[in-house]
Each structure stands twice: as structure tokens, then as C-alpha cells.
């Protein structure tokens, strides 16, 4: 076996899985493959799809060994790792395992060059294995050349394809492959995997630091290991979350905390100063907004008493601070900030000057955050809340019409003169509650279909169903409708608004 010249090997290489059991996060694909191997039902072509770094080529190479190893485990299908075949493949010296990177060999000649040997039996192994990485990069004629062999492959030929863009692989090729979709590896699993390797490397790290690295790797084992390797170069006894944040270019938590506080307090000058400091230290405008959004999400969880999501990235100190900050705001206020920052993030992503755009977002948020909620203001200052109290959830029609007077106003404002006339002169009100009205037909002034018409009108107007019926029981006479504007100004909400904002002029609106 070839010994590495350098004592140091990249983590990704050093810890490349040598057995199916070592591979993380791809249990289903591994089960399908090992079953296929044991039952000899794999077919002559296997295609691995998935994002970068999830283990496509690793799995293809592992499969190449499992296919050809004469001492393969009959149950688990694991290659032995020690026989001549295994060691020659591991050392890239096996003539019967041919690997080609289609990203740099896209042409028909490249494909022909390796396929020309197809008719000849394998030299040393049971199979001739072709591993073609990034297979979607092949040209159309190269795919056609490949297809000829794929249609009638010699029994000893095995194709293993890997691709990040399966949509670019022709249907004719896809239909001849066993397709295995590899999933991005979950954050928890990646963090656990990194922790195992860190232990082997005698690398001490705070547990949350692994989570941070795993998140940044976005499901890629290769990226996770390369990040871990970079972290190992920091060279401290115990790596902290702060070290890792710096490594990843994430802004310092305490600065983010100050920034958010200043913004919520409406201190625009301080907000902009802090934001500029963060950006001058290398934080990207986008990253700052993403972190603000994460903080707002945490604050909402505190407010609605929902559990925090597991892989939370903030330290205990920051969480405590966010909790305090949340208690000074209401759910609508935090939602408003969320809307501003989400919209802002979209703007920053497409902006030619992301930093300027992010400043505008913070200014906008800063001017909105300190505004009190109208609802809270009214509740504090009035009996408005009590007046609304009778509407319980079982009466689901507080949709703008809460009294029979309002029914009449609505008819008036929509110029339903005939219907209004029939009701005021030909009907009596037996009972009213939102969603249900009972009328008594008073003489011949109202046509029989008045309830149906009124029901239709109210349902359309409020968006919820209204039942209107005639009753034999007599009711109260219907008083003619007042001027809508006057009436609206008598409503509790309107009264409160006038009291709170003396001099306010209310438009009755219709």
C-alpha cells in the first residue's frame, strides 16, 4: 500500500469512510446497495445524485471495492479492506477500476478512450468498474457514445455515475440506471461526526461550536471536515463558540445584541454606528440581517412561550438578553420588525451596495419599532376591550357588523334602497346577533324574499355566512337609518380615538 509522503493529510481524506458502516446520513442508499450486492441485483449502472460533499464519489469508490473484493462479507457486503484488490483500489492502482471526471473530460473522444477497453475482460478483478464523476457535464455526443455501451453492457462491466445536477442527465441514460439520491446530512449528525473526529485529533471544542460548524457546512460532510480542519489551526486548548464565529466570519454576538437593542429603542445614530463597526470588521450586510432575523425568531418564541428550536446558535447570555428585550415588545411589534427585516434581506441580496441598503433597513426598523400598538393603546386607555368582550369565539361573525343599526347603515351605504325600504317599513326586528337575524313580516310592506336577499347581501359584505329568517313572533319596529357618518362617530372605537387624539378629524368612510 502506498504510504502518504506527508505525515499530515487533510481531514476529508484521512477520515474518508472505508466501510459502508462508516458512512453517515445515507442509511437508505447504503441499505439498497448492500442488499443489491448480496442478491446480485444491482444492474449494470448506478447513478448517485446529491449536493456537493454528501458522499457520492466516496460511495461509488466503496461500491467498486465491495463489487470486486473476493473476501467481501456475505451478509453486510463490506469489502475486507486488506486483500490485494482492496489495497490496489485504495492506492489508485487497480487497472480494472477506471475513474473519469467528466467536468474536465466532456468530449466524445474522452468517453471513447475509456470505453474502447470495454470488450476486454477485466485483468485482475471480477468486474470492470467505470466511475464517472459529474456525469452531467458530458457532451451530447459523449452521452450517445456512452449509451451504446449502456444498452448492451458486457456482463462484467459496472458503471457508477455521480452528479450534482441530475436534471442535465438525458432520460435515455437515467432510465438505464439504478438512481440513488443522497440527502444533505442533518446538522445534528454532522456535529456528532465532527465531535468524534475532533476527539481523535485531540481537539477540544465547546459543544455549541460543533453545531455552528455543522450548520455552516449545510449538509456537506466534506465541507464540515474542512471547516473542522481550519478550526484546528486556531491552536487553542479549547475552541470556543466565539473562535468559531470569528472563523466563519459571523459577527460577535454581543455586538449584534447591542445593535438590535439600539434599533428597537429607536436610537438611529447608535444603530448606524454599530452597524458600520460590524461591517468594517468583516461581517457581511446579509449575514447581519440573517442573524437579526434569527434573534427576532427567538424573541417571538419567548413571547408566545414556544420552545426554542434545538440547534439554536445563541449563547445562554445572549438568550437571556433577548428574552429581556422581547418582554418590552409585543408579538405584533416583533412581527412588524420581522416583516421589515425579511423584506430588507431580499433588498440587500439584490442591491448593488448591500451595506447602504442594510443601513436603510435598520433606519426603517428603528422608526417603526418604538411605535406603540394601537390595540394596546386603546386597551390601556379605554373600556373598549370590555365592550368587545361579549364576542366569544363561538360567535364567529364580528366581521364589521355588530348591530342591526350597522346592517341598516351597510344597506344605506351600498345604495340597497329597495331592500332597506322594505325592511324599515315592512319588518320588525325579533332578534339580532352577528351571523343570525330573525325578522317579523309586518303587513305587506316587505316581499317574501327579503330574508334571502339580506342574507346574501350580509354574507358578501362580511365574508361569513348570515342566516336571516322570518318569524311569526312580533318584534320591535325598525327605526330608520341614521346618517352613516354620525353613526360611525358614535361607535366606541371612534369615541376612544377622538379622546386619545384630541382634535383628530375622523372620516366616516364607507
Binding site for Zn ion (CB under 5 A): 69, 71, 79-80, 83, 86
Enumerate the β-bridge partners of residue 469: 438
Least distance to Zn ion, CB of residue 87, Å:
8
Taking the least distance from each CB to Zn ion, the nearer of 89 and 345 is 89
Taking the least distance from each CB to Zn ion, the nearer of 71 and 469 is 71
For residues 428 and 477, the answer to whether their CB atoms sit within 8 Å is yes
Taking the least distance from each CB to Zn ion, the nearer of 61 and 402 is 61
Least distance to Zn ion, CB of residue 34, Å:
15
Least distance to Zn ion, CB of residue 91, Å:
13
Phi, psi of 179 (to 5 degrees): -95, 130
For residues 42 and 176, the answer to whether their CB atoms sit within 8 Å is no
Least distance to Zn ion, CB of residue 71, Å:
5
Distance CA 224, CA 121 (A): 40
Nearest residue to 199 (alpha-carbon basis) of 187, 207, 188, 189: 207
Least distance to Zn ion, CB of residue 160, Å:
17
Least distance to Zn ion, CB of residue 18, Å:
11
Taking the least distance from each CB to Zn ion, the nearer of 68 and 149 is 68
- Cα dihedral sign for 460, 462, 464, 467? negative
- The H-or-E segment that residue 192 falls in is helix 187-200
For residue 414, CA distances in Å to 418, 436, 456, 510 come to 11, 20, 13, 8
Q: Beta strand 97-101 with 128-133: parallel, antiparallel or unpaired?
A: parallel
Least distance to Zn ion, CB of residue 56, Å:
22
For residues 170 and 47, the answer to whether their CB atoms sit within 8 Å is no
Distance CA 173, CA 481 (A): 76
Taking the least distance from each CB to Zn ion, the nearer of 69 and 190 is 69
Taking the least distance from each CB to Zn ion, the nearer of 80 and 500 is 80
Enumerate the β-bridge partners of residue 49: 163, 181
Buried b (16+ CB within 10 A) or exposed e, 74-113: eeebbbbeebebbbbbbeeebebbbbbbbeebbebebbee
Least distance to Zn ion, CB of residue 153, Å:
24
Least distance to Zn ion, CB of residue 89, Å:
9
Taking the least distance from each CB to Zn ion, the nearer of 71 and 93 is 71
Taking the least distance from each CB to Zn ion, the nearer of 80 and 197 is 80
What's the alpha-carbon Rg for the chain, to the nearest Å?
36
Taking the least distance from each CB to Zn ion, the nearer of 73 and 201 is 73
Least distance to Zn ion, CB of residue 84, Å:
8
Taking the least distance from each CB to Zn ion, the nearer of 126 and 240 is 126
* Cα angle for residues 331, 335, 337 (degrees, 5° grid): 120
Q: Where are the beta strands (DSSP E) in 8-87?
A: 45-49
Taking the least distance from each CB to Zn ion, the nearer of 69 and 468 is 69
Least distance to Zn ion, CB of residue 80, Å:
4
DSSP 313-351: -S-HHHHHHHHHHHHTS-HHHHHHHHHHHHHHHHHHHH-
Nearest residue to 182 (alpha-carbon basis) of 168, 161, 196: 161
Half-sphere exposure of 393 (CA within 13 A, CB side): 0
Amino acid at each position: 500500500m502506498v504510504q502518504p509522503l506527508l505525515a499530515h493529510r487533510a481531514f476529508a481524506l484521512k477520515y474518508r469512510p472505508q466501510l459502508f458502516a462508516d458512512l453517515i446520513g445515507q442509511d437508505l442508499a447504503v441499505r439498497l446497495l448492500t442488499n443489491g450486492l448480496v442478491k446480485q441485483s444491482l444492474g449494470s449502472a448506478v447513478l448517485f445524485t446529491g449536493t456537493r460533499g454528501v458522499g457520492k464519489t466516496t460511495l461509488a469508490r466503496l461500491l467498486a471495492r465491495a463489487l470486486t473484493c473476493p473476501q467481501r462479507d456475505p451478509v453486510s457486503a463490506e469489502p475486507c479492506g486488506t486483500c490485494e484488490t482492496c489495497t490496489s483500489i485504495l492506492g489508485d492502482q487497480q487497472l480494472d477500476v477506471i475513474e473519469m471526471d467528466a467536468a474536465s473530460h466532456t468530449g466524445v473522444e474522452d468517453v471513447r478512450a475509456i470505453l474502447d477497453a470495454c470488450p476486454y475482460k477485466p485483468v485482475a478483478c471480477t468486474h470492470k468498474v467505470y466511475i464517472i464523476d459529474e456525469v452531467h457535464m458530458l457532451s451530447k455526443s459523449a452521452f450517445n457514445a456512452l449509451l451504446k455501451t449502456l444498452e448492451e453492457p458486457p456482463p462484467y462491466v459496472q458503471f457508477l455515475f455521480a452528479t450534482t445536477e441530475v436534471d442535465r442527465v438525458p432520460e435515455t441514460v437515467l432510465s438505464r440506471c439504478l438512481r440513488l439520491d443522497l440527502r444533505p446530512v442533518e446538522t445534528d449528525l454532522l456535529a456528532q461526526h465532527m465531535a468524534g473526529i475532533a476527539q481523535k485529533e485531540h481537539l477540544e471544542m465547546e459543544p455549541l461550536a460543533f453545531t455552528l460548524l455543522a450548520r455552516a457546512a449545510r449538509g456537506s460532510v466534506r465541507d464540515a471536515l474542512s471547516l473542522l480542519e481550519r478550526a484546528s489551526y486556531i491552536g487553542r486548548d479549547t475552541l470556543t463558540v466565539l473562535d468559531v464565529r470569528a472563523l466563519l466570519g459571523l459577527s460577535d454576538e454581543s455586538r449584534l445584541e447591542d445593535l438590535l437593542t439600539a434599533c428597537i429603542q429607536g436610537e438611529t445614530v447608535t444603530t448606524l454606528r454599530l452597524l458600520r463597526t460590524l461591517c468594517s470588521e468583516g461581517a457581511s450586510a446579509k449575514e447581519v440581517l440573517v442573524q437579526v432575523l434569527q434573534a427576532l425568531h427567538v424573541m417571538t418564541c419567548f413571547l408566545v412561550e414556544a420552545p426554542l428550536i434545538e440547534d439554536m446558535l445563541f449563547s445562554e447570555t445572549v438568550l437571556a438578553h433577548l428574552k429581556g428585550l422581547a418582554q418590552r415588545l409585543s408579538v405584533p411589534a416583533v412581527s412588524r420588525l420581522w416583516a421589515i427585516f425579511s423584506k430588507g434581506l431580499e433588498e440587500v441580496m439584490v442591491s448593488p451596495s448591500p451595506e447602504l441598503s442594510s443601513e436603510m433597513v435598520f433606519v426603517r426598523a428603528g422608526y417603526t419599532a418604538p411605535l406603540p400598538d394601537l390595540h394596546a393603546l386603546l386597551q390601556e386607555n379605554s373600556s373598549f376591550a370590555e365592550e368587545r368582550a361579549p364576542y366569544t369565539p363561538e360567535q364567529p361573525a364580528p366581521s364589521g357588523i355588530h348591530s342591526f343599526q350597522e346592517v341598516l347603515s351597510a344597506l344605506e351605504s351600498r345604495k340597497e334602497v329597495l331592500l332597506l325600504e322594505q325592511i324599515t317599513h315592512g319588518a320588525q326586528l325579533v332578534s339580532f346577533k352577528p351571523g343570525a337575524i330573525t325578522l317579523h313580516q309586518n303587513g305587506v310592506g316587505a316581499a317574501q324574499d327579503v330574508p334571502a336577499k339580506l342574507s346574501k347581501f350580509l354574507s358578501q359584505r362580511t365574508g361569513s355566512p348570515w342566516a336571516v329568517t322570518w318569524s311569526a313572533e312580533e318584534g320591535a319596529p325598525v327605526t330608520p337609518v341614521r346618517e352613516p357618518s354620525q353613526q360611525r362617530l358614535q361607535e366606541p372605537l371612534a369615541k376612544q380615538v377622538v379622546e386619545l387624539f384630541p382634535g383628530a378629524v375622523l372620516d366616516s368612510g364607507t
